[in-house]
Chains A and B, each alone.
Chain A
Amino acid sequence: MSSTTESSAEQLIRRFRDVVGEDGLLYRPEELIVYECDGYVVEKNVPDVVVFPRTTAQIIELVKICNDLKVPFVPRGAGTSLAGGTLPVGGGVMITLTRMREILEINYRDRYAIVEPGLVNVHLTQALKGSGYHYAPDPSSQGACTLGGNVATNSGGPHTLKYGVTVNHVLGIEYVSPQGELMRLGGPQEEMPGYDLTGMFVGSEGTFGICTKIWVRLTRDPAAHRTLLAIFETVKDATETISAIIGAGIVPAALEMMDQGIIAALEEAFHFGFPLDAGAVLLIETDGLEVSVEQDALDIERLCSENGAREVRRAGTEAERQLLWKCRKQAFGAIGRLSPSYCTQDGVVPRTKLPEILDCITESSERHGIRVVNVFHAGDGNIHPILLFDERDPEQIKRVMAASDEILNRCIDLGGSVTGEHGIGVEKISFMSRLFTENDLEIMGRIRIAMNPTGCCSPSKMLPTAGACGMEHIERSHPGKQAHA
């Protein structure tokens, strides 16, 4: 029932209802609060409406209505972002894509699949099981995160060392532009004339529009793999081993490190049989042809021993391999045993600078009296220091913030970046002007305006000055505790 006194929120809801029906809408305050944050809980803001389109045509309608009423909108998948990528800054509409989750086509002959954005990463893997092919990017959150979200953040994972990140596996994208037009970039043909807009769309954190279809590359399964666990007396020995392995011309499929703090927590939780006095462990997986992985494994074992490994274990069966991976993937879950709250950072440094950044982490930890444990993608130089604290103590929170900033600034100084896989979102926005020059940001700003002229699509994300629709960026005041993907 429309009337002259209808508020804009009422009008929005009424018009949305015409598009998606009552079942596709949330607007009651007690249902909206669930959508006030994602995996990053430091900043919160409740959207005015959450809407669940089932078709691309509905998304076009929804975006047009948002434009009509000049309301900001933000797409959301599973809400596992660790950087506030789906935070509805300034309120507005949240377009949730979880009801668009079909695999539209799997084409083995041409090695691609077409999927909808709400498809959960692991569901694609499951659908491909047994075919000899897989979708390579495997973020640790793959059991929940959506491919649309992976496209938005250019997600990585433990196997990116050898196989690359999301952008290396996306062939094409269909999206609804911020003006409500249906656009198509790339497709199953590998090369098309003109700019690689598909490549730039990946990692644009939802600021270029709403992805509705993705063409992904299917990758041949490795024929064989070897999974090793090397135990070291010190973190230094472990990092030197990483350099030695890479220096020997071996590119493992995955190379992950865990330090003493994590080992102790894991041991308490799962009883893997780790020596509690070990300084660090490396989880190393090499894959390839059966004839070559054995040699790689032998070389890696030798390099580990030469660099002071106390012991190198090798998974003899698939079950043992799964167990080793379980200990890596469950690492964050075990943190709860060490501390009531924690927050993790996502810095990157050149691989050879790992010893330096680890020293910096130790120093920061001591200077600020904050305990830090480490578990990270060592092969990529992608660190995830976990800062332990009690969120009920505001003084500790301040120290955690200070230590985090110190570590990330050091990453920049060492030639690295403040985010390897989580994205800028709202969390890291203040670092952008340290990472980039004014010119860089201006160019990025121009591109954003070209793609998103009104700024109403995902306002206040990624760029410090972006978004006409959005409100002022919320000041970071609280590190929160996060699980890591």
Chain B
Amino acid sequence: MNNPSPPTSDTLQDPPIDHALPIVGGKIDYTKFLDCVHCGLCTSACPTYLETGDENNSPRGRIYLMRAVVDERIELTDTVQKHLDLCLDCRSCETACPSGVQYGRLIEPFRVDTHKRDAATGKKTGGWFQSIFLHGLFPYPKKLRWALAPARMMQDLKLDRAIDAIGLPKLLPTKLRRLYQQLPKLQRRGKQFPHTLPAKGEKRARVGLFTGCVAEAMFSQTNRATARVLQENGCEVVIPNTQGCCGAIHYHSGAEKPALEFARQNAEAFLSEDLDAIIINVAGCGAMLKEYHHLAEEIEGTDEATAVKLSQFTAKVQDISEFLMELGPREPKGEIPLNAVYHDACHLCHAQQIRSQPRELLSLIPGLTLTPLAESEICCGAAGSYNLTEPEMADRLGQRKVKNILQAEPEAVITGNAGCSLQIQAVLKNKGEPLPVYHPVDLLDCSYRCAPIEDSH
């Protein structure tokens, strides 16, 4: 018999609801559900709906599911869980929504609640991979750098190619293999930042630079470039060494206490300085930093003083492109003859509504042309650690993105988020189309320095 047996009335029946545990999502402000008028305009903005065509995998559908769980119309079964887990949290739906539904403020607390329930019921989630890599290693740039050192040495010695060739990576557990395949060309670690870097020319602002964890380990040169570009634009740059991970990985996987801890640590690190702005060059971290004040609202028992601090911190956070365009960038002179496409990182265009600024900055660079990219605002599948937790959908979206990129026939891809860079680079490499992927400041920095782009990394 080829087919699994059809569901019987038994399997179709809802299991009894256990009232001993609090309802998942029960503490979410119910009016946030009511904001959704079920018009469906969000559906086609959602990458997972675009791929599957199933409304259970659309923002409207997920809101319907979460609300039904809260209303106790349905149980949070594995099936429902699967649909909610498939959400990239890319916030594309918030851009599309005419009614201003704050989808992120529904799915994120709902996920936190789910993790809490799982912890309480002893349900296994994440497992060794989450605890060792996502929580134990990723947030700590030094540890991560050490862990990555062998990989970089292999790359330097071109050993990685040999390893690929004999198929050794296939012996790794799936998630580790994906992690291995995601590795970019690792950069030599940049010089340790001093606490303060002076402004060039007339001083126009004093800013803090958030260097991040994965970013500092894998893209330390982009951080150096960001600092130089800021200096070039008359900014004194402060890099507090007490800053930590933004906490997004924890928060999005439901570990809210460590997330709040990181938030507090970062607020303290930067608020002790007298800063005009806090600059971030990674879209994902930026979105998280800009939402710290929601953490205080959503995490029970957060004291008032912390809430105030987080709000003060949030108010100062700006993406590098957003900040430069507001400040008025100095004109870069160095020519970079390059035909590139710009991919809108979800956490830049949807979560932070930053679209024009990076493009405007890039348009200042002599010789650089931007070719329009189809579906530039559709997620590439990276979505933080999503490509490790939902590999199948991440692959589909990665392929979709790369197909669009290759159609535009560019010489390079530009994007303002570390995760997108990793994902796009990996898929391109897999396809045998290894286009370089740059951060806008990589190119801006080269242009200011009149250096060739090969120097960007």
Q: Do chains A and B touch in the complex (CB under 8 A)?
A: yes
Neighbour of B7 across the interface among A27, A79, A485, CB < 8 A? A27
How far apart sit A289 and B6, CA to CA, in the bound complex (Å)?
62
Q: Answer yes or no: B119 CB below 8 A from chain A CBs.
A: no
CB distance from B63 to the nearest CB of A (A): 10
Neighbour of A28 across the interface among B6, B7, B38, B374, CB < 8 A? B7
Q: A29-B74, A332-B98 are in contact. List 10 more A-B contacts (CB 8 A).
A: A28-B7, A34-B56, A38-B38, A143-B41, A332-B99, A333-B97, A340-B31, A340-B34, A482-B39, A483-B37
Q: Is the CB of A99 within 8 A of B61?
A: no
Q: Is the CB of B41 within 8 A of A483?
A: yes
Please, how many residues of chain A have a CB less than 8 angstroms from a CB on the other chain? 55
- Greatest chain B CB density within 10 A among A34, A99, A333 is at A34
Q: Answer yes or no: B68 CB below 8 A from chain A CBs.
A: yes
Q: Report, nearest first, the 10 A-B pairs whose CB atoms are least far apart.
A: A98-B53, A333-B98, A483-B39, A30-B74, A80-B40, A34-B61, A99-B53, A483-B37, A10-B6, A1-B5
Q: Is the CB of B73 within 8 A of A33?
A: yes
How far apart sit A126 and B37, CA to CA, in the bound complex (Å)?
27
Q: Answer yes or no: A22 CB below 8 A from chain B CBs.
A: yes
Q: Mark A1-20, 1 if CB is under 8 A from B, else 0.
A: 10000110011011001100
CB distance from B386 to the nearest CB of A (A): 21
Neighbour of A17 across the interface among B3, B45, B83, B99, CB < 8 A? B3
Q: Answer yes or no: A320 CB below 8 A from chain B CBs.
A: no
Q: Closest residue of chain A to B68, judged by CB?
A: A33
How far apart sit A101 and B43, CA to CA, in the bound complex (Å)?
14
How far apart sit A24 and B32, CA to CA, in the bound complex (Å)?
32
Q: Which residues of A contact B45 (CB under 8 A)?
A: 143-144
Q: Answer yes or no: B77 CB below 8 A from chain A CBs.
A: yes
Q: Mark B16-60, 1 if CB is under 8 A from A, else 0.
A: 000000000000000100110111111111000100011110001
CB distance from B373 to the nearest CB of A (A): 11
Known: A10-B8, A340-B34. A33 touches B74 (CB 8 A): yes
Q: Which residues of A contact B (CB under 8 A)?
A: 1, 6-7, 10-11, 13-14, 17-18, 22, 26-31, 33-35, 37-39, 41, 52, 78-80, 82, 96, 98-99, 101, 118, 120, 122-123, 126, 141, 143-145, 269, 329-330, 332-333, 335-336, 340-341, 481-485
Q: Closest residue of chain B to A6, judged by CB?
A: B6
Q: Which residues of A contact B14 (CB under 8 A)?
A: 29-30
Q: Is the CB of B6 within 8 A of A14?
A: yes
- Greatest chain A CB density within 10 A among B3, B53, B64, B73 is at B53
Q: Which residues of A contact B60 (CB under 8 A)?
A: 34
Interface of B is mostly: loop
How far apart sit A30 and B99, CA to CA, in the bound complex (Å)?
26
How far apart sit A101 and B52, CA to CA, in the bound complex (Å)?
11
Q: Is the CB of B77 within 8 A of A30?
A: yes
Known: A30-B14, A37-B38. A101 touches B53 (CB 8 A): yes
Q: Answer yes or no: B100 CB below 8 A from chain A CBs.
A: yes
How far apart sit A96 and B98, CA to CA, in the bound complex (Å)?
24
Q: Answer yes or no: B430 CB below 8 A from chain A CBs.
A: no
How far apart sit A118 and B55, CA to CA, in the bound complex (Å)?
13
Pull 21 A–B residue pairs with CB atoms less than 8 Å apart, ordered by A.
A1-B6, A10-B8, A14-B6, A17-B6, A18-B3, A27-B12, A29-B12, A34-B56, A78-B44, A79-B43, A98-B49, A99-B53, A120-B44, A145-B40, A330-B98, A332-B98, A336-B99, A482-B37, A483-B38, A483-B39, A485-B39
Q: Answer yes or no: B75 CB below 8 A from chain A CBs.
A: yes
Known: A10-B6, A96-B53, A332-B99. A30 touches B34 (CB 8 A): no
Q: Which residues of B contact A330 (CB under 8 A)?
A: 98
How far apart sit A329 and B53, CA to CA, in the bound complex (Å)?
25
Q: Is the CB of B39 within 8 A of A34?
A: no
Q: Which residues of B contact A27 (CB under 8 A)?
A: 7, 12
How far apart sit A485 and B39, CA to CA, in the bound complex (Å)?
8
Q: How many residue pairs bridge A and B at CB < 8 Å?
A: 130
Q: Which residues of B contact A38 (CB under 8 A)?
A: 38, 40
- Greatest chain A CB density within 10 A among B42, B49, B100 is at B100
Q: Answer yes or no: B80 CB below 8 A from chain A CBs.
A: yes
Q: Closest residue of chain B to A13, judged by CB?
A: B6
CB distance from A74 to the nearest CB of B (A): 15
Q: Is the CB of B1 within 8 A of A1?
A: yes
Q: Which residues of A contact B5 (CB under 8 A)?
A: 1
How far apart sit A330 and B53, CA to CA, in the bound complex (Å)?
25
Q: Is the CB of B64 within 8 A of A34?
A: yes
Q: Which residues of B contact A482 (CB under 8 A)?
A: 37-39
Q: Is the CB of A30 within 8 A of B68?
A: yes
Q: Which residues of B contact A10 (CB under 8 A)?
A: 6-8
How far apart sit A483 and B38, CA to CA, in the bound complex (Å)?
8
Q: Closest residue of chain B to A80, judged by CB?
A: B40
Q: Answer yes or no: B4 CB below 8 A from chain A CBs.
A: yes
Q: Which residues of A contact B34 (CB under 8 A)?
A: 340-341
CB distance from A201 to the nearest CB of B (A): 23
Q: Which residues of B contact A101 (CB under 8 A)?
A: 53
Known: A98-B53, A336-B100. A30 touches B41 (CB 8 A): no
Q: Answer yes or no: B296 CB below 8 A from chain A CBs.
A: no
Q: Closest residue of chain B to A98, judged by CB?
A: B53
Q: Answer yes or no: B96 CB below 8 A from chain A CBs.
A: yes
Q: Answer yes or no: B65 CB below 8 A from chain A CBs.
A: yes
Known: A6-B6, A39-B38. A31 touches B56 (CB 8 A): yes
Q: Answer yes or no: B121 CB below 8 A from chain A CBs.
A: no
CB distance from B222 to the nearest CB of A (A): 30
How far apart sit A52 and B55, CA to CA, in the bound complex (Å)?
11
Neighbour of A333 across the interface among B49, B56, B74, B99, CB < 8 A? B99
Q: Is the CB of A41 within 8 A of B38?
A: yes
How far apart sit A14 and B7, CA to CA, in the bound complex (Å)?
9
How far apart sit A341 and B37, CA to CA, in the bound complex (Å)?
9
Q: Answer yes or no: B272 CB below 8 A from chain A CBs.
A: no
Which B residues, 70 to 127, have Cβ-Cβ distances below 8 Å to chain A?
73-75, 77, 79-80, 83, 96-100
Q: Which residues of A contact B9 (CB under 8 A)?
A: 7
- Greatest chain A CB density within 10 A among B9, B37, B68, B83 is at B37
Q: Is the CB of B55 within 8 A of A34?
A: yes
Q: Is the CB of A31 within 8 A of B39?
A: no
CB distance from B123 to the nearest CB of A (A): 18
Q: Is the CB of B98 within 8 A of A13?
A: no
Q: Is the CB of B8 within 8 A of A79?
A: no
Known: A10-B6, A30-B80, A333-B100. A144 touches B43 (CB 8 A): yes
How far apart sit A255 and B6, CA to CA, in the bound complex (Å)?
55
Q: Is the CB of B65 within 8 A of A30?
A: yes
Q: Is the CB of B374 within 8 A of A126?
A: yes
Q: Is the CB of B35 within 8 A of A336?
A: yes
Q: Is the CB of A52 within 8 A of B74?
A: no
Q: Closest residue of chain B to A32, judged by CB?
A: B56
How far apart sit A34 and B79, CA to CA, in the bound complex (Å)?
13
Q: Closest residue of chain A to B12, judged by CB?
A: A29
Q: Is the CB of A39 within 8 A of B40?
A: yes
Q: Closest residue of chain B to A30, judged by CB?
A: B74
Q: Which residues of A contact B80 (CB under 8 A)?
A: 30-31
Q: Closest residue of chain B to A5, judged by CB?
A: B8
Q: Is the CB of B12 within 8 A of A52?
A: no
How far apart sit A483 and B5, CA to CA, in the bound complex (Å)?
42
How far apart sit A432 and B99, CA to CA, in the bound complex (Å)?
31
CB distance from A12 to the nearest CB of B (A): 9
Q: Which residues of B contact A484 (CB under 8 A)?
A: 39
How far apart sit A126 and B80, CA to CA, in the bound complex (Å)?
33
How far apart sit A106 and B42, CA to CA, in the bound complex (Å)?
27
Q: Is the CB of B7 within 8 A of A80?
A: no
CB distance from A157 to the nearest CB of B (A): 14
How far apart sit A79 and B45, CA to CA, in the bound complex (Å)?
14
CB distance from A325 to the nearest CB of B (A): 13
Q: Is the CB of B77 within 8 A of A141?
A: no
How far apart sit A31 and B52, CA to CA, in the bound complex (Å)?
14
Known: A33-B68, A33-B73. A78 touches B40 (CB 8 A): yes
